[in-house]
């Protein structure tokens, strides 16, 4: 039982479940499509399905796997697994938190503020350096995306809520 | 062809593309030296592809990729840290040379190899164009369908180093590309009831999620600090005896030319790319050069020459399958392909007819990048190295911020960011479990072209398309290419293992 719960096997089963689930969904959907729309998905499934089954069998029966990649290598594993795990969790939390903050308060506030706090506390650069970097992001968003590309931004719920209390909006 | 060459020169050396090259120059020099610094910059350019002229975006990304390759060996030689995977073999002899106080000689040899290798690669690309033009005239939609599909599978199989994972990810990429409006019937497919997916899965969030974020995470997780004292010592020696190193490279001219040709040839093989070329060239030099078995790995300048000349000539070679057949040989080339598609330029036969001047401009860009960057590096390498030694905990959040902005430009909705997060989780899992990610991107880029060619072929020829001699010839050629590519890849891996086991 422990063997199946190991990160090596369980993790790849998650990947296979995702890919297999999408293959099944695509196949069921494609049964209702005209030939012109269904032909290419069927070719993709015909190529992928046998190899999916093969990979599941390799993992299930623990057959010897070929190894080695050139075009795409895995994570660089060093001699400090504890530290690496901590840094991994930290940066993932930062990304998730940053995206939540972007939704909540928008790009113009969340990106510079997130960057400022991260480089100050984890990048260990001075407050002045951190503020300069944050200002660079403000300049990038306003200068390139607002002025040059005329990007349209989503309306952050927190700012909308605050605006609702302002006299002009009532 | 001559007319297109002149037109390419006129358009390329006009204010717009020249300004772009000027902007990309410092970015290329610095990011080439940073671990994992290459791809996020290409992703940022991809974010602008929908707005700008293809001449601007293509110039930006090709110049960037070619110029950053030139600076990659610098941290390998000075600090023993590869700026990118394509400079790994340079460490084996470059770093021991630097430890012996010969950093300048190693760097000088590297610059000369860069210059010669880059120009040889560009000439190879130029020579391949007329041959490819004649070849493509014999093909119809049936052959283009087969070429695209087999090319994709070939890249997947070779790149993965594991047959099953490679084909599986390519098929998964094709399946993802089926989401949204069908280009044949206009029917919305596999949208899972989400209106956002009606136009298909946008490319930029896929690239950001699958590549840029996992690489940024890797940067922080690996956290390779650079000892300041060691850096200072090495930088002092970086500008000493550089010209002696350049003369050394010219003294071994046959090795230089041979390794450059190997790099170009390996670059042309779909899926093998730059990360294998330098290992193959290094391995051949180790086995053919006199006394190399004893001296390679201990600070022999010939090791630097072999690795770096192949590393730069590969740029010209890898562009051939990318632009002519729409089969990219690396992650960077897949992004170039995506830029072409987003800019309204369809890779493949049109690149040799309607957009021939744009294709020829790639030759100029690769050659030009090599010619202007080398003199700059002769004088500014220590300063640029110091700038590039940015701690990962500063670099990563900056990269994350910039690529997030680029991803949001896809459709200006928060769903773009959700998609980024979804693909980032997928990318982390794939990177962790050794599933190759480039085939997904290549499949998404190529899917629409493949589907259109398939439908035209089915309607035009029916099942008789399988009997066309050109169709059968492509199957035979692609099988041969796949065998050669797999052999080259196993050769590169053998060299890598040999080098690893020979390390003290």
What are B410-464's pLDDT values in tens digits? 788 899 999 999 999 999 988 888 888 878 888 888 888 788 888 888 888 877 7
CB within 8 Å of B81: residues ≥ 6 apart: B35, B75, B91, B224, B226
φ, ψ for residue B218, nearest 5 deg:
-60, -40
The pLDDT assigned to B437 comes to 82
Task: Judge: A70–B170 Cβ closer than 8 Å, yes or no.
Answer: no
* Interface probe with B: pick from A39, A70, A139, most Cβ of B within 10 Å: A70
**Does A61 have pLDDT greater than 70?**
yes
Q: Which of A5-14, A111-120, B79-88, B320-329 has the highest mean pLDDT?
A: A111-120
CB within 8 Å of A70: residues ≥ 6 apart: B159, B161, B272, B273, B275, B276, B489, B492, B493
Distance CA A29, CA A8 (A): 32
Q: Pull the structure tokens for residue B89.
A: 């073999």
Summarize the confidence of residues B257-269 as an average pLDDT: 85
**Does A16 have pLDDT greater than 90?**
yes
Query: Of the candidates A74, A92, A115, which has its C-beta nearest B434's C-beta?
Result: A74
Distance CA B195, CA B204 (A): 18
Residue pointed to by tokens 């220590």: B382
Q: How confident is the model at residue A128 (pLDDT cuts 50, 70, 90)?
A: very high
Among residues B432, B5, B429, B325, the alpha carbon closest in space to that of B333 is found at B325
**Does A23 have pLDDT greater than 90?**
yes
Query: Of the candidates A37, A74, A118, which has its C-beta nearest B184's C-beta?
Result: A37
Taking the CA of residue B5 and the nearest CA in chain A, the distance in Å comes to: 32
Task: Judge: A19–B168 Cβ closer than 8 Å, yes or no.
Answer: yes
Distance CA A59, CA A66 (A): 12
Q: How confident is the model at residue B159 (pLDDT cuts 50, 70, 90)?
A: low
pTM: 0.78
On the CB side of B255, how many CA atoms lie within 13 Å of its CA?
28
The string of pLDDT tens digits covering residues B94-121 is 888 887 878 888 888 988 888 888 888 8
SS (H, E, C) B58-75: HHHHHHHHHHHHHHCHHH
Task: Determine how many CB atoms are found less than 10 A away from the CB of residue B36.
Answer: 24
Q: Which residues of A touch B271 (CB under 8 A)?
A: 71
Q: Pull the structure tokens for residue B122.
A: 């560009």
Distance CA B492, CA B277 (A): 7
Task: Determine how many CB atoms are found less than 10 A away from the CB of residue B234.
Answer: 23
Task: Judge: B222–A76 Cβ closer than 8 Å, yes or no.
Answer: yes
Query: Of the candidates B221, B222, B398, which has its C-beta nearest A115's C-beta?
Result: B398
Residue pointed to by tokens 């779909």: B270
Distance CA B272, CA B497 (A): 17
Distance CA B476, CA B470 (A): 10
Q: What is the ipTM of this complex?
A: 0.89
Task: Judge: B434–A69 Cβ closer than 8 Å, yes or no.
Answer: yes
Taking the CA of residue B350 and the nearest CA in chain A, the distance in Å comes to: 23
Q: Which residues of A touch B149 (CB under 8 A)?
A: 43
The string of pLDDT tens digits covering residues B182-214 is 888 888 998 888 888 988 898 888 888 988 888
Task: Judge: B165–A11 Cβ closer than 8 Å, yes or no.
Answer: no
Task: Judge: B174–A44 Cβ closer than 8 Å, yes or no.
Answer: yes
Task: Judge: A145–B409 Cβ closer than 8 Å, yes or no.
Answer: yes
Closest-CA residue of A relative to B162 is A66
The string over B299-326, giving b where at least 16 C-beta atoms fall within 10 Å of a residue's C-beta and e elsewhere, is bbbbbbbbbbbbbbbbbbbbbbbbbbbb
DSSP secondary structure, B178-216, as one string: TSEE-TTT--EES-TT-GGGGG---HHHHHIIIIIHHHH
Mean pLDDT computed over every residue of chain B: 80
* Interface probe with A: pick from B86, B155, B189, most Cβ of A within 10 Å: B189
Task: Judge: B175–A48 Cβ closer than 8 Å, yes or no.
Answer: yes
Taking the CA of residue B401 and the nearest CA in chain A, the distance in Å comes to: 6
Q: Which residues of B touch A65 (CB under 8 A)?
A: 162
Q: Which of B35-44, B206-215, B292-301 has the highest mean pLDDT?
A: B206-215
Summarize the confidence of residues B79-89 as an average pLDDT: 64
Task: Judge: A26–B190 Cβ closer than 8 Å, yes or no.
Answer: yes
Sign of the C-alpha dihedral computed for residues B134, B138, B139 and B143 taken in this order: negative
Closest-CA residue of B relative to A98 is B401
Task: Judge: A102–B413 Cβ closer than 8 Å, yes or no.
Answer: no
The pLDDT assigned to B291 comes to 81
**Does B7 have pLDDT greater than 50?**
yes
In the DSSP assignment, the letter for residue B297 is: T
pLDDT > 90: percent of chain B? 7
The pLDDT assigned to A70 comes to 43
| Partners of residue B188 on adjacent β-strands | B181
Residue pointed to by tokens 């909540």: A104
Taking the CA of residue B4 and the nearest CA in chain A, the distance in Å comes to: 32
Task: Judge: A119–B397 Cβ closer than 8 Å, yes or no.
Answer: yes
Q: Pull the structure tokens for residue B372.
A: 């202007």
Helices (H), ranges, B1-53: 2-12, 15-31, 38-48
């Amino acid at each position: 039982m422990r063997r199946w719960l190991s990160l090596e096997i369980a993790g790849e089963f998650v990947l296979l479940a995702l890919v297999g689930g999408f293959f099944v969904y695509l196949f069921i959907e494609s049964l209702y499509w005209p030939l012109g729309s269904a032909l290419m998905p069927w070719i993709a499934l015909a190529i992928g399905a046998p190899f999916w089954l093969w990979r599941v069998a390799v993992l299930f029966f623990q057959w010897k796997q070929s190894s080695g990649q050139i075009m795409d290598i895995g994570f660089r594993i060093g001699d400090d697994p504890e530290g690496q795990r901590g840094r991994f969790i930290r940066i993932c939390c930062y990304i998730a938190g940053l995206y939540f903050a972007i939704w909540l308060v928008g790009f113009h506030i969340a990106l510079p503020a997130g960057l400022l706090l991260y480089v100050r506390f984890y990048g260990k650069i001075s407050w002045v350096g951190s503020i300069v970097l944050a200002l660079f992001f403000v300049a990038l968003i306003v200068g390139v995306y607002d002025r040059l590309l005329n990007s349209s931004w989503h309306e952050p719920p927190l700012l909308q809520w605050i605006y609702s209390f302002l006299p002009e909006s009532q | 062809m001559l007319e297109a060459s002149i037109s390419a020169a006129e358009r390329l050396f006009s204010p717009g593309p020249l300004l772009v090259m000027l902007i990309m120059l410092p970015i290329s020099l610095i990011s080439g030296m940073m671990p994992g610094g290459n791809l996020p910059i290409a992703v940022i350019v991809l974010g602008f592809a929908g707005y700008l002229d293809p001449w601007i975006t293509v110039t930006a990304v090709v110049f960037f990729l070619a110029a950053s390759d030139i600076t990659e060996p610098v941290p390998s030689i000075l600090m023993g840290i590869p700026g990118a995977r394509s400079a790994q073999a340079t460490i084996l002899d470059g770093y021991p040379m630097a430890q012996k106080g010969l950093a300048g000689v190693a760097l000088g040899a590297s610059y000369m190899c860069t210059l010669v290798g880059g120009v040889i690669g560009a000439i190879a690309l130029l020579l391949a164009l007329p041959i490819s033009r004649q070849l493509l005239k014999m093909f119809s939609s049936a052959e283009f369908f087969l070429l695209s599909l087999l090319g994709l599978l070939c890249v997947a199989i070779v790149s993965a180093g594991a047959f099953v994972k490679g084909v599986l990810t390519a098929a998964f990429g094709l399946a993802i590309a089926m989401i949204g409006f069908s280009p044949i019937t206009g029917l919305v497919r596999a949208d899972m009831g989400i209106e956002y997916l009606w136009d298909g899965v946008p490319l930029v969030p896929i690239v950001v999620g699958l590549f840029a974020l996992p690489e940024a995470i890797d940067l922080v997780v690996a956290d390779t600090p650079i000892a300041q004292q060691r850096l200072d010592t090495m930088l002092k020696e970086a500008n000493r005896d550089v010209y002696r190193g350049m003369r050394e490279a010219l003294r071994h001219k046959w090795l230089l030319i041979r390794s450059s040709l190997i790099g170009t040839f390996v670059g042309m093989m779909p899926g093998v790319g730059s990360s294998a070329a330098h290992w193959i060239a290094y391995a051949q030099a180790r086995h053919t050069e006199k006394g190399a078995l004893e001296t390679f790995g201990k600070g022999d300048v010939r090791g630097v020459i072999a690795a770096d000349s192949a590393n730069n000539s590969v740029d010209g070679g890898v562009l051939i399958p990318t632009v002519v057949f729409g089969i990219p040989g690396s992650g960077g080339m897949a992004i170039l392909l995506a830029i072409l598609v987003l800019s309204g330029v369809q890779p493949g036969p049109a690149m040799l007819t309607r957009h021939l001047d744009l294709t020829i401009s790639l030759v100029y860009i690769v050659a030009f990048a090599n010619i202007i960057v080398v003199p700059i590096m002769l004088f500014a390498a220590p300063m640029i190295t110091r700038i590039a030694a940015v701690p990962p905990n500063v670099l990563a959040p900056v990269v994350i911020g910039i690529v997030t902005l680029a991803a949001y430009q896809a459709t200006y909705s928060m769903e773009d960011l959700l998609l980024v997060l979804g693909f980032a989780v997928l990318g982390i899992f794939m990177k962790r479990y050794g599933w190759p990610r480039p085939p997904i991107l290549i499949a998404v880029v190529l899917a629409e072209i493949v589907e259109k060619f398939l439908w035209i072929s089915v309607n035009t020829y029916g099942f008789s398309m399988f009997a066309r001699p050109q169709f059968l010839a492509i199957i035979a050629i692609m099988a041969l290419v796949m065998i050669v590519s797999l052999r080259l890849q196993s050769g590169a891996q053998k060299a890598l293992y040999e080098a690893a086991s020979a390390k003290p």
